Structure 1
Amino acid sequence: MTGIVVVSHSRPLAEASVAMARQMVRDSGPRIEIAAGIQDPGSEEPGLGTDAAAISAAIEAADDGQGVVVLMDLGSAILSARTALEFLDPDIAGRTRLSWAPLVEGLLGAVVTAASGSDPTEVAAQAEVAAEAKRRQVED
């Protein structure tokens, strides 16, 4: 099943988004990994930021051989995700799709689509359709 990685500057934001998405599929959903926040020295709570090494590890953990879709929250998360691809085995990197979908809406679409057994290309495409669906709802 296509795995999903959520990259966010905020760990609480990522965890809440994943919790909501998991309710859509219950126990039949894909593997979802979180790479969010950074550990500030001297603090018990994660700070805001992203870490390419953590993203790379999350991609490896989410991949079962079919591939992974990575959803990101903000611009620098994209840079971190691109850097993470450079750390991966080329086969895993080749099965990984970075998606421009909005994080929350895209995650819901990705999780439901991945649960149906779809490949990473279709999972990413359905995540990205979420932005169009929201635009249409607002315009109506």
Structure 2
Amino acid sequence: MDARVGVVLVSHSAGLADGLRDLLAQLGGGAVTVLPAAGTADGGLGTSYELIAGAVRAADGGAGVVLLADLGSSVLTARTVLEDEPGEGRVLVDAPLVEGAVAAVVAASTGAALAEVVAAAEAAREFRKF
């Protein structure tokens, strides 16, 4: 199988990210690496530089990685990781966590390139529920 864009879910809550990962695994048919980088190293609520950095490295199969974050400090921590550990094709996307991740994984599962996956996730800002 060709390399697919990976997805990292940056959240304050491991439970939230794990549940979303389970949903995305079904939507992506198992073709996309989706990794949570959520909570603190000791299992609490918060963000962890080390968890995010490790997930980004692990999700990078050669086609790039899209990061989606839930709240303010998760965005700041993800940005810091990307500044400290720059790499080609690592993009923090300004999109809602759930809808953006769904759009990203669906696009990535088709073999879409990084720019297309980023665009799909960003377009999720405009999704209307009714």
**TM-score, length-scaled by structure 2:** 0.91
* Residue 26 of structure 1: how far off its partner (Å): 2.2
Percent identity of equivalent pairs: 45
Aligned residue type for 2:41: Q
Where does the alignment leave 5 or more consecutive residues of structure 2 unmatched? none
Instruction: List per-residue Cα deviations over 1:82-106 (Å, max 9, x = no partner).
Output: 1111332x4x2x3101011101111
* Residue 21 of structure 1: how far off its partner (Å): 1.5
Please name the residue that 1:17 is paired with: 20
> What number of residue pairs does the alignment pair up?
127
C-alpha separation between the residues in 1 aligned to 2:5 and 2:28? 14
C-alpha separation between the residues in 1 aligned to 2:60 and 2:102? 19
Q: Does 1:133 align with 2:130?
A: no
**Structure 1 stretches of 4+ moved >2 Å:** none
Please name the residue that 1:55 is paired with: 52
Q: Does 1:68 align with 2:65?
A: yes
* RMSD of aligned residue pairs (Cα, Å): 1.3
**TM-score, length-scaled by structure 1:** 0.84
Aligned residue type for 1:84: V
* Residue 108 of structure 1: how far off its partner (Å): 0.7
Instruction: List per-residue Cα deviations over 1:38-78 (Å, max 9, x = no partner).
Output: 034xxxxx111111221111111000111100000001111
C-alpha separation between the residues in 2 aligned to 1:26 and 1:115? 7
Mean CA deviation greater in 94-103 or 2-11: 94-103
User: 1:117 is paired with a residue of what secondary structure?
Assistant: coil
Structure having the larger proportion of residues in helix: 1
8 Å Cα contact 1:9-1:73 kept in structure 2: yes
C-alpha separation between the residues in 1 aligned to 2:98 and 2:28? 15
